[in-house]
Structures are given as structure tokens and as C-alpha cells.
Amino acid sequence: MSSDKKPTIGWIGTGVMGLSMCRHLIEAGYQAVVYNRTKEKALPLVEAGAQYAKSPADVASRADIIFTIVGYPADVREVYFGDQGIFSQVKEGAILIDMTTTSPTLAKEIAHRSRELGAAAIDAPVSGGDVGARNGALSIMAGGEQEAFDRVLPLFQLMGKKISLLGEAGAGQHTKMCNQIVISGTMIGVCESLLYARKTGLPLDKLIDIISGGAAGCWTLNNLAPRIVKGDYDPGFFVDHFIKDMGIALEEAAAMQLSLPGLALVHQLYVALQSQGGGSLGTQALIRALDVLNGGDQ
């Protein structure tokens, strides 16, 4: 890459998170080539100046640094290793950054194949939801080689506020598992607190305001509890995707012979919510599953 010219950015996956994240790069003056399985979801970026590609391979043939943020590990595998995947057309010297939350094992496979093709790979899942993505305030946890990380750090800084390289390939994904374990615990705590408060007749808005200023203060309480009070279950992060994340964490824990009973409980409650048709709702909809357990119908 020329040192006096901005690299061309490739972006694959323009959903709730990816759309805002890529927009920050375009607004900073980067040329972008984008692809999404549902083209309509990428059109706002095309209107902002991005070029639309016909496949992940097409993105790879035209971009110097490629970001991916898709749904599930199977989607990641197809995007990278498929017949029309990134690896079929990747440029030598390219940097591939998967920001999907996926398995550490898959992240290591992608890094190994990238090295074979003369490219570099970073696994860099994020936390902060739709609000963090829109505000460029995500936490970005990375795994990979220091040199590649240093080269893409200016791009990460357009999308996030807390950015750290935690170790070699797979370390970013392991860190995201730790993040999701914490979120599972705080989410059930917030929902149970609101159920208790509602049962006692407390004013919920005032409750959130006062306890968020003390030891109970957390991102979930500040950002998602108000949505619950309003009955707003639109997704900042889908229930389906959170179930996927928790499943990965439980599989990794089992492989290490590590028991995580709290995570397992919350995982099962979300599976119950999913079975009730709540998979496309935001994670704050967990309160619906708890309502059902308590004889409600929300």
C-alpha cells in the first residue's frame, strides 16, 4: 500500500452494526467497496459514495483492507472460504478483519489461511450495540499480529473508543466470550430488578435513575432498561445472535472442562424466548421470558 494514499476499504455485512461502522469510514474519506447478501441493506452506503460489489470475491479483488461482520460462524466460513469467498481473490498484502462474533477456532483458521496467501488477518469482535456503532464508541477487542493491528488502528479509532490487541489469532474472540458472559449476567439482573420494582409499584424511570448512580450502574441499566420500560424491544443486538454467542462460550468452556452455570441458565431462558417467537427482538426482550415464568403474557 502506498503510504500517501488511503487504502481502499472492503466491507461485507451491512446490518444493524455494519452499516453505521462502515459509514464512519466513508465519512472519513475512505473509498469503500461493499457487499451484503440483501443488496437493499447496503444501498444507504452506496448513496454515501461506496461502490457495490457482486460477491465477497469481488470485494477482495478491489480492496486493500477488508472488514466482515455477518451473522453466524457458517456465514463467516462461506464469506472467507466459499467458491466466491474472500480467499479466492484476496490481494497479497491485504489485511482481513473479521468483526463478527464467532469461534476462536475459526478465527485461527482464517489467520492461518491468510498467511498462506500472503495476507494478514485480525479477529476483532465488538461490543456496544447499535448505539455504540452509530456513535463510533464501540469497544473493539482484537487478536492477531501487532504489525497488522498497528496498520488498521486508525480505522478502528473511527469506529470505537476502547481498542486493544489481546494476543494472537483467536484472542479477540475469546475476549468477546468474556464480554458476553458478563452481559448475560447483567441482563438477567436488570430484568429481574425491573420485575421486582414493577410488582411493588415503584416508578420505574426514577428507579433506573437512582440505582444507575450507585454500585448497580452498568451499560445495560443505562441503555436497555429505559427501552424495557417503554416496551421497546427493537434490536440493538438480536436475541438469535446472542444465543449463538452464548452457545460458543459454553462450547469453549466445555472444551476447557469449565462449568459456567450462570451462563447456562441465561442461555436457556433466551432459548425459551426464541421458542416464543422472540429471536428477532433485541436482547432486552429477555424480560418477556421472565414475565411468562411469573404468569404474565408479555
Q: What percent of the chain has pLDDT over 90?
A: 94
User: Taking 90 as the threshold, does the pLDDT of residue 274 lie above it?
Assistant: yes
Question: In terms of C-beta density within 10 A (0-12 exposed, 13-18 middle, 19 or more buried), how is residue 293 classed?
Answer: exposed
Cell numbers at residue 291, please? 414475565
Buried b (16+ CB within 10 A) or exposed e, 87-100: bbbbbeebbbbbbb
Range(s) for CATH 1.10.1040.10 in the chain?
A: 174-293
Confidence of residue 16 (pLDDT cuts 50, 70, 90): confident
Identity (one letter) of the amino acid at 126?
Answer: V
Distance CA 84, CA 81 (A): 8
Confidence of residue 1 (pLDDT cuts 50, 70, 90): very low
Distance CA 193, CA 204 (A): 10
Q: Which CATH superfamily is domain 174-293 in?
A: N-(1-d-carboxylethyl)-l-norvaline Dehydrogenase; domain 2 (1.10.1040.10)
The mean of the pLDDT values for the chain is 96
Distance CA 208, CA 291 (A): 19
Cell numbers at residue 160, please? 470505537
Half-sphere exposure (Cβ direction) of 240: Cα atoms closer than 13 Å: 11
Residue of 140, 138, 136 whose CA lies nearest to 125: 140
Contact 149, 125 (CB under 8 A): no
* Residue found by looking up cell 445495560 in the block: 220
Q: Which CATH superfamily is domain 9-168 in?
A: NAD(P)-binding Rossmann-like Domain (3.40.50.720)
Mean pLDDT of 28-52: 97
User: Taking 90 as the threshold, does the pLDDT of residue 78 lie above it?
Assistant: yes
Task: Encode pLDDT of 147-188 as tens digits.
Answer: 999 999 999 999 999 999 999 999 999 999 999 999 999 999
Instruction: Determine the pLDDT at residue 8.
Output: 98
230 a catalytic residue: no
Question: In terms of C-beta density within 10 A (0-12 exposed, 13-18 middle, 19 or more buried), how is residue 38 classed?
Answer: exposed
- Lowest mean pLDDT segment, chosen from 86-100, 153-167, 282-296: 282-296
* Residue found by looking up cell 444493524 in the block: 16
Confidence of residue 297 (pLDDT cuts 50, 70, 90): low
Residue 1 vs residue 151, higher pLDDT: 151
Give the three-state DSSP class for 227: helix
Distance CA 183, CA 233 (A): 17
Cell numbers at residue 47, please? 448513496
How many other CB atoms are there within 10 angstroms of residue 296's CB atom?
12
Range(s) for CATH 3.40.50.720 in the chain?
A: 9-168
**pTM, 2 dp:** 0.91
Instruction: Determine the pLDDT at residue 236.
Output: 83
Mean pLDDT of 283-287: 97
Task: Encode pLDDT of 225-236 as tens digits.
Answer: 999 999 999 998
- List the beta strands (DSSP E) in 135-243: 138-143, 160-167
User: Taking 50 as the threshold, does the pLDDT of residue 2 lie above it?
Assistant: no
Given the residues 91, 108, 176, 244, the one annotated as active site: 176
